[in-house]
Amino acid sequence: MKMLINVPETVVADALRGMAAAHPELTVDVENRVVVRKDAPVAGKVALVSGGGSGHEPLHGGFVGPGMLSAACPGEVFTSPVPDQMVRAAAAVDSGAGVLFVVKNYTGDVLNFDMAAELAEDEGIQVAKVLVDDDVAVTDSLYTAGRRGTGATLFVEKIAGAAAEEGLPLERVEAVARQVNENSRSFGVALSACTTPAKGSPTFDLPAGELELGIGIHGEPGRERRPMMTSGEIAEVAVDAILEDLAPRSPVLVLVNGMGATPLLELYGFNAEVQRVLGERGVPVARVLVGNYVTSLDMAGASVTLCQIDEELLRLWDAPVRTPGLRWGM
């Protein structure tokens, strides 16, 4: 497989150096693997810290900035960051108002963020944690106990980030983040496997003419394999799987997310089918976001995330945000 890299061992460091050069509004510590908004700590503001394995860009480093994360900790490709990174990030952004850790439900992330929270609290930093577990495809997987954390991570980071930007206290920002996660469900599909730089070949075998329904963002197995389906058929499977679990009573946010190698031409077409299915199922849509936001290296495919919202959550979603990966209203 041909890749635009130097050597696999320096992929993350090289990407962070490039990120620093492209985004002077961020402080990027390449050696210690921490990305921080340059104006942190912001007096009186709750700080949001997240992180995870690299390979899912723009998640998480691309969501650092006003209106979203205060800091992010990138691990090696598909590998959790270590507690020292998280503690360093928390110390860099804590203003005394506390820090909220946003943690995707993967075993390594959960264990390391739990340890980091204890270490940070030993240093006098008040920490709260929110676990994102929105994927309805499978209950347990190769990397998790319980549901995986996927596309809803973006909704949690954006909406809780807006709440923090308004100066809400830690317990309220945490409550908002939990509400968003509880109201969100996701389902993904892979048309091809991804390729990690270290392996240099596809991480699993997906024969030509087949797709994997319910895939995870690390290439974890899904619910089943089927012969290739049309965009409309895939949309029906994904949306129905979500609605079997969510049953929204109010309008929803919709994320149609590319897995890294699917062009916008296809994603917008897929979104048209998602909107058709939601209309046929009687689900009103408040806002739609289409693009590559929670990716899996060069995997072809897409995921759908729905979040049931009320007027307050919608107001926070619409609030200004300025990050490398998401920006409006500023």
Catalytic residues: 56, 218
CA distance 299 to 26: 28
CA distance 231 to 208: 17
DSSP 83-146: HHHHHHHHHHH--SS-EEEEEES-HHHHHHHHHHHHHHHHTT--EEEEEE--B-S-SS-SS-SS
Residue linked to tokens 């089918």: 273
Alpha helix (H) residue ranges in the chain: 11-22, 83-93, 107-122, 152-165, 170-182, 231-246, 264-280, 311-318
- Sign (positive/negative) of CA torsion 265, 57, 111, 180? negative
CA distance 233 to 240: 11
The angle subtended at Cα 113 by Cα 129 and Cα 299, nearest 5°, is: 100
Phi, psi of 10 (to 5 degrees): -110, 10
Residues 6+ apart with CB under 8 A from 7: none
CA distance 305 to 5: 31
CB atoms within 10 A of CB 278: 22
